């Protein structure tokens, strides 16, 4: 898989029609109902990286490559305890739930997944048995959780960079523009999106890319596989967006 092919898939995602269709409050609610799963499973990718390149066991022993620990810990600090725009601190996931509440977006579908997961049920079983979650969301979450739990570390880093930190600024900018132009957004959602654009573009994106390249160790096979993982992540995201538009169409919103 070449970088040129990867960029082509990325370009197609960034021109997805969803950015022109999220134009009313009701459509925003549908978008958030689906997108919250991506906000949540991002943390599993991040935690796999943190668990692998830092020492979180007791008794503590230093990880052999402190550069990796530094890169990931800097990202974790913001993702779990960023400024909340109101003088306090919050995880980005909690910020998103606040935005959903402010918009009046339905969290029932997400909670129907998270509750049995917290009770110790296997995510694959929960997804397969849940009739509320559309197939596009199931495939997206299953892909990312399987990678976070079972993928090679450089593969997880590839998903983290290509599918998240290196993508989000360009992916969210047209969405923010559309929301602001149509007046379809809320204060907390715009804050969440703009905060991600800011920290990922200026800081997290470059850190995630550096970690990926370090983990690939200039190995051409690893680099090629990393590009392939990146392509799969982008295709999964595009399918997730397709699912949002499908519900909007079905409900004639």
Q: Answer whether residue 5 shows pLDDT above 90.
A: no
Nearest Cα neighbor of 68 from 213, 233, 167 is 213
pTM for this entry: 0.94
168-218, pLDDT tens digit by residue? 889 888 888 888 888 777 788 888 888 888 888 888 888 899 999 999 998
Kind and range of the H or E run holding 150? helix 135-150
Average pLDDT value for the chain: 92
Please tell me the distance from the alpha carbon of residue 26 to that of residue 209, in angstroms, as a whole number. 36
Find the Cα–Cα–Cα–Cα dihedral 148, 75, 235, 245, rounded to 10°: 110
**For 11-41, b where at least 16 C-beta lie within 10 A, e where not — what string?**
eebeebebbebbbebebbbbbbbbbbbbbbb
Q: How confident is the model at residue 4 (pLDDT cuts 50, 70, 90)?
A: confident
């Amino acid at each position: 898989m070449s970088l040129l092919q990867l960029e082509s898939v990325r370009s197609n995602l960034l021109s997805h029609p969803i950015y022109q269709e999220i134009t009313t409050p009701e459509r925003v609610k549908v978008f958030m109902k689906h997108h919250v799963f991506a906000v949540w499973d991002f943390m599993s990718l991040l935690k796999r990286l943190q668990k692998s390149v830092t020492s979180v066991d007791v008794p503590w022993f230093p990880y052999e490559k402190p550069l990796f620990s530094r890169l990931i810990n800097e990202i974790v600090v913001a993702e779990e305890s960023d400024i909340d725009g109101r003088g306090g601190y919050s995880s980005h996931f909690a910020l998103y739930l606040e935005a959903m509440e402010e918009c009046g977006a339905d969290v029932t579908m997400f909670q129907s997944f998270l509750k049995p997961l917290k009770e110790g049920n296997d995510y694959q079983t929960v997804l397969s048995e849940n009739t509320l979650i559309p197939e596009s969301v199931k495939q997206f979450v299953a892909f990312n959780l399987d990678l976070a739990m079972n993928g090679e570390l450089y593969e997880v880093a590839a998903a983290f960079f290509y599918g998240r930190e290196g993508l989000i600024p360009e992916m969210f900018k047209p969405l923010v523009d559309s929301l602001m132009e149509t007046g379809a957004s809320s204060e907390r959602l715009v804050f969440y999106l703009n905060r991600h654009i800011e920290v990922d573009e200026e800081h997290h994106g470059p850190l995630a890319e550096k970690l990926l390249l370090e983990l690939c160790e200039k190995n051409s096979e690893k680099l090629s596989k990393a590009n392939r993982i990146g392509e799969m992540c982008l295709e999964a995201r595009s399918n997730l967006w397709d699912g949002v538009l499908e519900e909007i169409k079905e409900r004639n919103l």
